[in-house]
């Protein structure tokens, strides 16, 4: 992609995605890129007033290299049923899957949208880990290298999506759109009957983020 086209495409993605973030350092997920190279590093973010988890790159002004606007989870803790605790752990794995998948595609393809959304997914995983800690649910993503998961079903899904996206960039974008649609469905279902204010806050913002990610992956130039 030439410089002008890439810059225009970057601005499209940034415009769709907006700003988001958490007032914590994004985690460094273990492992390198699955296509023979290291995955992109997750940037640190800072605590500044502004939108939180709104689905964008969360990397500040310009071409995604500045500080991230954000704030911590502000809603009060509630209570979760046993089923909702299981769902919380499952959603954490979904956020890790999205991060690892997009980081792998970012290392392979000349499409900055993957870098931006991978950075966003890293902060989403931070939010899920905050909830896991609050509700004393074992974190299924802790210490897991990139591309590895404790749930065999999630592992199989990741492997399938990664293989399909390895064919060409357009295939990777299609895979990313499918991953976002799956996240939207999972988060919508998780909100049904959920009363815990902090969990509702996080899930609602992550749902909005997934909807914006889907738009970004849909609008990104295909070739």
d(CA 19, CA 81): 32
Q: Which of 15-19, 110-114, 200-204 has the lowest mean pLDDT?
A: 15-19
d(CA 41, CA 61): 18
Mean local confidence (pLDDT), 141-159: 96
d(CA 1, CA 6): 6
For residue 120, the SS3 value is helix
Please give the residue that has the higher pLDDT: either 65 or 196. 196
pLDDT above 80: residue 43 = no
156 Cβ neighbours under 8 A, 6+ residues apart = none
164 Cβ neighbours under 8 A, 6+ residues apart = 171, 174, 175
Percent of the chain with pLDDT over 90: 64
d(CA 197, CA 218): 32
Q: pLDDT tens for residues 69-98?
A: 334 788 999 999 999 999 999 999 999 999
Quote the tokens at residue 5.
Answer: 């086209």
SS3 helix, strand, coil % of the chain, rounded to 5?
A: 55, 0, 40
What mean pLDDT value characterizes the chain?
A: 77
Q: What are the residue boundaries of the structural domains of the chain, listed by start?
A: 3-219
CATH code for the part of the protein at 3-219 = 1.20.1260.10
Go through the chain and tell me how many residues it has. Answer: 223
Residue 83 burial (10 A CB sphere; 0-12, 13-18, 19+): exposed
């Amino acid at each position: 992609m030439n410089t002008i086209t890439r810059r225009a495409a970057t601005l499209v993605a940034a415009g769709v995605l907006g700003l988001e973030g958490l007032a914590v350092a994004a985690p460094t997920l273990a492992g390198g890129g699955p296509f023979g190279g290291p995955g992109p590093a997750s940037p640190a973010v800072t605590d500044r007033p502004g939108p939180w988890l709104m689905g964008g790159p969360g990397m500040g002004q310009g071409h995604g290299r500045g500080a991230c606007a954000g704030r911590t989870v502000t809603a009060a803790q509630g209570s979760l049923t046993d089923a909702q605790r299981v769902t919380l752990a499952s959603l954490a794995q979904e956020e890790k899957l999205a991060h690892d998948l997009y980081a792998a595609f970012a290392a392979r393809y000349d499409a900055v949208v993957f870098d931006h959304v991978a950075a966003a997914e890293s902060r989403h995983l931070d939010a899920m880990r905050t909830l896991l800690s609050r509700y004393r649910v074992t974190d299924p993503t802790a210490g897991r290298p990139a591309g590895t998961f404790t749930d065999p079903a999630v592992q199989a899904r990741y492997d399938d999506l990664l293989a399909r996206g390895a064919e060409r960039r357009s295939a990777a974008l299609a895979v990313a759109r499918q991953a976002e649609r799956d996240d939207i469905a999972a988060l919508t279902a998780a909100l049904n009957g959920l009363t815990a204010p902090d969990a509702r806050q996080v899930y609602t913002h992550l749902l909005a983020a997934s909807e914006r990610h889907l738009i970004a992956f849909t609008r990104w130039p295909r070739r």
